Structure 1
Amino acid sequence: MLGPGSDRAAENADLKHDNARLKREIEILREEKEILEKRMELVKLEAENVTADLKYENDRLRRENELFRKKLERPSFKLPWEITHLIFQRAIAPCSLMMPDRFSASAWSLNLLTIQRLITVCHDWYQAGISFLYADIAVYWIDQLHALQWTLQNKPELAAKVCSIQFSCHIPTDGADEFDRTLESLANLCPKLHHLSVLESSFTPRIQPTSCFPHSS
């Protein structure tokens, strides 16, 4: 039978074993902490790099925007409306030299595309070029006619720019009355309208197309 000394020695041995195990666990935790700290430093460094890149890109875009704004303020972009209008007049082909054509590669369509691009450059160019877009109108589909009527009714400043309208769309026979009313409405809406023609139609409207309206100047 073992005495008290033997029990104490066994307890001491167990304590030493537990202490050694705890030291190893503490050492492992310390190493894991160091690894986490290094990872956090890397993440922080990456975040700083991303922030620096974003700041650089933002500064670059700001400089480009400032440069572009200064270019827009050059005298060439501040021409009087009359001069810009004359420039457009020489850059745009006269509609009298072309026949309305719905195909995208036709001279009429390409000329229309040129006008649309000019008036989307800036507000001043829009003001100088919008009259070219509405001066001579060609209607290819009946839905376009309804949209045109709505636009001219709600924007009289555009209706005042219309000089001629040509219809090149199929009008169903049962739509004759509505088409006649639309022609009357367009004639009343457009004070400068002097030419109205129907190139293709399945019927002859009761209001005959004409090249002159009493109210035109």
Structure 2
Amino acid sequence: MSGSQVWDDVDFYFSSHLTPDDDVLQAALRDSEAAGLPHISVTATQGKFLQLLAEIQAARNILEIGTLGGYSTIWLGRALPADGRLISLEYDARHADVATRNIARAGLDRIVEVRVGPALESLPKLADENPAPFDLVFIDADKSNNPHYVEWALRLTRAGSLIVVDNVVRGGRVVDADSADPDIVGIRAAIELIAAHPRLTGTAVQTVGSKGYDGFALVRVLG
């Protein structure tokens, strides 16, 4: 049996036991696929991981950078209390339309807001609103801008907040210091920023599964 088949089988085993079929989430994936969105949503087990992180954090305010079809947004939104708030930033208006419908179907449209446009334009506008500090920030957008997203996440959070940066391994290519790929350059810059910043402490976890070989950085904001 190939390595990738083992990864798929293990993912199926865990998801079938720990994240059983959910009509709303399955519909979100189906509608995303029907609309031609790329197949880059988090897996069910990863979505459940994000939900648990938000619940452990007792999050009331969540920021997501990169909405896609709203699959991860739904997982995160389900962790919020009735008066919680989740703001998700999406570059592509077509993706945002799909996500908005999926979020409404999940009954989360009262606490989730999708904002359309380049995140590096939306983030300064968000900061100008002086929002309550975000308890958790999930970064899953264009990897080349990861260091900028981490800097904005730090600005918009508080001591004790969590920052999750997805897709930091890229099949192992993150170790290539000579890579000219903007994604790899951005990921490495973000990791080095996290390592050097006096107000951040973090780690990175490598993962395998139905989406291949990748991983995420988990970062805590210090006082």
- Rg bigger for which structure? 1
TM-score by length of 1: 0.32
Of Structure 1 and Structure 2, the greater helix share is in 1
The TM-score with structure 2 as length reference comes to 0.32
